[in-house]
Amino acid sequence: MSAPHILATGRCLPARVVSNEDLSQTVDTSDQWVFSRTGIHSRHFCQSETGLDLALGAARQAMERSGLTAADIGVCLVGTFTPDHASPSTACLLQRELGLPEDTICFDLNAACAGFLYGLQTAHALLPGAPRPYAIVVGAEVISRVMDMTDRNTCVLFGDGAGAAVIRRDETRTWHTVFGARGDQSSIRVQGPGPVPSAIHMEGKPVFRFAAEVVEGSIRQLLEADGLTSVNDLDLVVCHQANARIIDHVAKRLKAREGLFYKNMDRYGNTSAASIPIALDELVQSGALLPGMRVLMVGFGGGLTWAGALLRW
Ligand code: ACO
């Protein structure tokens, strides 16, 4: 067995912070409605920043903290459903900006909000055949680009940002993973390809039910695979930060102790593929996530997709 060892993380958020109060100036909503339904108070939206800027900011931070140089990287993956271009990929542009060697394996992957964990698994699987033993995995989104700012059903939910991790393959470690896909065009959709993508469409209630089902199911599967009987045997659970009510619902069903499930959507909203690496970086930087801790991560979103991983930090 082997598992990815996450050596360092980084994050990058655009400068502009938009509160629920700000949004209530343009759509019929309120901080009270949004916070009570989602746990979100504010989010960051790009003004002049591109998705590449965010990915680069997060990747540079992770690289610096890892102590590695560009010449050590063999794989560079970006999880995103809102890239700057259909082509070139953000990963290819990162190759140039970071100065990664030209034989680095670089591509974007779209698994929506499960994108970071799909990327982690893919990078881990690619590393044995890669030219060098380290990979950089990024989740980067500019969701404001595909949002209808007059649609109160969606414009209050999402935010822009990026998170990154530098990993290597560690043959002495083990991890457990779960991946899933359920083709569904009706509940979450961004139309394309085309000159201008349509605004994101989401049917909130079915997505809520789907999320509650797969998050709980994935956690139960991963606990069983690791021989654990309770979620409280873990040190941390980091779910995709779509809605505090989804997390609270699952935590209650699993009888989790207070604080086990991390939440930061109050400040970022739903940043899709970026939400898990942003959360990991916050936890590492605050000293709450330490080597040896048992961490379980679960992502879910458009596709529909879901992914979970249980590893020791
Ligand atoms: N402000 C005020 N009222 C609003 C707002 C708003 N921003 N948005 C909707 N409403 C209204 C609706 O119009 C509706 O009014 P009506 O009853 O008169 O028709 C009422 O509030 C209730 O709306 P619901 O849709 O029933 O609200 P719900 O409690 O289901 O919450 C929400 C909506 C927050 C979207 C929730 O369903 C949810 O979080 N779903 C899951 C989303 C998710 O997890 N997405 C992850 C994947 S995203 C990806 O992959 C890119």
Q: Where are the domains of the chain?
A: 3-170, 175-312
Per-residue pLDDT at 187: 92
Of 18, 299, 251, 284, the closest CA to residue 139 belongs to: 299
Tokens 């394996």 map to which residue?
A: 105
CATH fold match for the domains 3-170 and 175-312 = yes
Per-residue pLDDT at 100: 98
Dihedral, CA of residue 57, residue 127, residue 296 and residue 220, to nearest 10: 140
Regarding the beta carbon of 113 and ligand 1, being less than 6 Å apart is answered yes
Per-residue pLDDT at 198: 79
Per-residue pLDDT at 194: 64
Residue 109 neighbours by CB distance under 10 Å: 20
Per-residue pLDDT at 7: 98
Per-residue pLDDT at 104: 98
Question: Which residue minimizes the CA distance to atom 32 of ligand 1?
Answer: 204
The CATH fold of domain 175-312: Peroxisomal Thiolase; Chain A, domain 1 (3.40.47)
Q: Out of 46, 76, 113, 239, which one is annotated catalytic?
A: 113
Residue 111 neighbours by CB distance under 10 Å: 28
The pTM for the full model equals 0.96
Regarding the beta carbon of 177 and ligand 1, being less than 6 Å apart is answered no
Per-residue pLDDT at 1: 77
For the chain, the first-to-last Cα distance in angstroms comes to: 16
Using DSSP, state whether 270 is helix, strand or coil. strand
Q: Out of 5, 124, 240, 243, which one is annotated catalytic?
A: 240
Q: Which DSSP category does 175 fall into?
A: -
Question: Which residue minimizes the CA distance to atom 26 of ligand 1?
Answer: 205
Query: Which parts of the chain sit beneath pLDDT 70?
Result: 193-197
Residues 3-170: name the CATH superfamily.
Thiolase/Chalcone synthase (3.40.47.10)
Per-residue pLDDT at 191: 78
Regarding the beta carbon of 206 and ligand 1, being less than 6 Å apart is answered no
Regarding the beta carbon of 265 and ligand 1, being less than 6 Å apart is answered no
Per-residue pLDDT at 195: 64
Per-residue pLDDT at 48: 95
